[in-house]
Amino acid sequence: MAVYKRSYTSYSGALTPPRTRFLVLPRYSYERLFKSRFLVGFLVACLFFPLGCIGYIYLVNNLTIFQSMGIPTPGFLKIDGKFFLVFMNFQGALAYVLTALIGPNLIAPDLANNALPTYFSRPFSRTEYVIGKISVLFILLSIITWVPGMLLFGVQASQAGWDWSVANWYILRGILLGHITWILLLSLISVAMSAWVKWKVVAGALILGIFGIGAGLAQIINSILRTDYGSMIDISRIMYTIWSDQFGIETSTGLEAFEAWIGFAAVCIVCLLMLERKIRPKEIVR
């Protein structure tokens, strides 16, 4: 009898449903990531500021001292778009740091150890692989960005009442849109960078450096060509413009909101193209 006939039986257990199969990657990534005490500590620390904000909202809404003195609550204590923008900026910066910590570990080790053929010899497509890897970061970043943001808005809405919510619903839209675009961009950039270079340290440096180099290039394009459109490759300017636009604040970035969106889309497309080139089951040497 042939050996395989005696010993080989195909897998007959339960399969992960195809639609949610990409979540297998985050599941295993988190298992490994959460072993690092530093990372868990950092994640928890990221939630301190939102907690403080909730406390502040509660306090401001329940300040009876001014009413008791018969004067209206002073303007600088108001909870408004500015307040939420500060929150967004702070958490957005933390998201950036977290990306730099986790991002390089996403694809670079798989490439360095030739693990891609192993992935793709399973019922697992390239798209699922990329979505899976992106969702590792996306989910984690969500927890420290727009999720607490929504919570903050909810607390403020419940404290300040229906009228406030109706008048300020743009804040909710701003938080959601602003933060989701930001973390989408961060996840895409770090996945693309870590797919492009095999060495983790270099990938990490690139994830950080792409912002600095982009800004530098934007500067020289603007100064040599005497234009403002160079800023379209300055990622932090793009995001700043988009956020400010959502909150109705005028900026001096030299960019229009729609130009910023074009820049955003361009960065995303470049990242996707890079992934398309690099995520292949095998490499051919000529």
Cβ proximity to other proteins, 40 vs 217, nearer residue: 217
Of the candidates 243, 59, 57, 53, which has an alpha carbon nearest to the alpha carbon of residue 148? Answer: 53
Helix axis angle, 200-225 to 81-102, nearest 10° = 130
Cα–Cα distance measured from residue 93 to residue 211, given in angstroms and rounded to the nearest whole number: 13
As measured in angstroms, the least distance from the Cβ of 207 to other proteins is 11
User: Considering the rule CB under 8 A, would residue 266 count as an interface residue with other proteins?
Assistant: no
Cα–Cα distance measured from residue 220 to residue 218, given in angstroms and rounded to the nearest whole number: 6
User: Considering the rule CB under 8 A, would residue 282 count as an interface residue with other proteins?
Assistant: no
As measured in angstroms, the least distance from the Cβ of 108 to other proteins is 12
The tokens for 267 are 């960065």
User: Considering the rule CB under 8 A, would residue 286 count as an interface residue with other proteins?
Assistant: yes
User: Considering the rule CB under 8 A, would residue 209 count as an interface residue with other proteins?
Assistant: yes
User: Considering the rule CB under 8 A, would residue 114 count as an interface residue with other proteins?
Assistant: no
As measured in angstroms, the least distance from the Cβ of 226 to other proteins is 5
Cα–Cα distance measured from residue 216 to residue 211, given in angstroms and rounded to the nearest whole number: 9
Q: Which of 223, 266, 273, 277 binds other proteins (CB under 8 A)?
A: 223
Q: Which stretch binds other proteins (CB under 8 A): 76-84, 130-138, 179-187, 204-212?
A: 204-212
User: Considering the rule CB under 8 A, would residue 201 count as an interface residue with other proteins?
Assistant: yes
As measured in angstroms, the least distance from the Cβ of 205 to other proteins is 4
User: Considering the rule CB under 8 A, would residue 86 count as an interface residue with other proteins?
Assistant: no
As measured in angstroms, the least distance from the Cβ of 204 to other proteins is 7
Give yes or no for a contact between 188 and 266, defined as CB atoms under 8 angstroms apart: no
Of the candidates 124, 264, 249, 134, which has an alpha carbon nearest to the alpha carbon of residue 188? Answer: 134
Q: What is the DSSP string of 126-138?
A: HHHHHHHHHHHHH
